[in-house]
Amino acid sequence: MYVLSKNFKEFIQSQKSENNSVNEIISIVVSKDATIDKLKKYLVEHDGVLERIRNSALDYLLLYTYDTLKDDCITVEELNDFIALKKIFSIKQGDFIRYKEFEIQEILKQQFIRMYSDKFIDNKEAITQVNLQIMFDLSYDKFEEFKKEEVISALIGGADPRNLDISTLPKGFIL
């Protein structure tokens, strides 16, 4: 079983879900003697729990996203934790957009404003963009759509397109 990072264990000390079942599952997977069998036993005893708590699990993962972005980057460790938690809570591809699109847009907009404000995307920011795309299971086109407004704003502000980590200019934009 994947061992969640020290960062995540620190996060759960200060952040609890409003849903007791989410907290119980987290407790099981972070315990020192965590096993897949213990998690399976809980899930069998609480049949259908993952479907019932999907919304709360998504909210908790969004809360963890905000926590990971406090330092403006997402480490490999944090990304791996997030991916593991999605598996633990049976979050499927498309669930974030289907159930939490507004919240995803807000997180991404906040990050894009910060990243594009200096009209230059450094390596750390480029990696963070890729990690956000992975975390929320966003297609390339959907991710590009979300960042389009800030890319255009940076270009209008005089940014060199080669410094913005974009493959093409936004549709209809002419230099």
Q: Would you say residue 174 has pLDDT above 90?
A: no
Instruction: Quote the tokens at residue 31.
Output: 């315990």
Q: Would you say residue 168 has pLDDT above 90?
A: no
**Domain coordinates of the chain in residue numbers?**
1-91, 96-166
- List Cβ neighbours of 70 (8 Å cut-off, separation of 6 or more): none
Find, among 159, 173, 167, 162, the residue nearest to 119 by Cα: 159
Computed over every residue of the chain, the mean pLDDT equals 95
- What is the pLDDT, as a whole number, of residue 85? 98
CA gap 136, 85 in Å, rounded: 12
CA gap 125, 111 in Å, rounded: 9
pLDDT, tens only, 57-111: 999 999 999 999 999 999 999 999 999 999 999 999 999 999 999 999 999 999 9
Q: Would you say residue 143 has pLDDT above 80?
A: yes
Angstrom CA distances, 91 to 73, 86, 87, stand at 23, 5, 6
Torsion of CA 33, 35, 39, 29, to 10 degrees: 60
Q: Are 66 and 100 in contact (CB under 8 A)?
A: no
Q: Would you say residue 173 has pLDDT above 80?
A: no
- Give percent of the chain with pLDDT exceeding 70: 100
- What is the pLDDT, as a whole number, of residue 90? 98
| Percent composition of the chain: helix, strand, coil (DSSP 3-state, to 5) | 70, 0, 30
Higher pLDDT, 168 or 49: 49
- What is the pLDDT, as a whole number, of residue 5? 95
CA gap 94, 19 in Å, rounded: 22
For the entire predicted model, the pTM comes to 0.93
- What is the pLDDT, as a whole number, of residue 172? 76
- What is the pLDDT, as a whole number, of residue 25? 98
CA gap 4, 52 in Å, rounded: 24
CA gap 41, 49 in Å, rounded: 12
Mean pLDDT of 23-39: 95
> Which residue reads 């759509």 in tokens?
145
Mean pLDDT of 118-136: 97
Q: Would you say residue 114 has pLDDT above 90?
A: yes
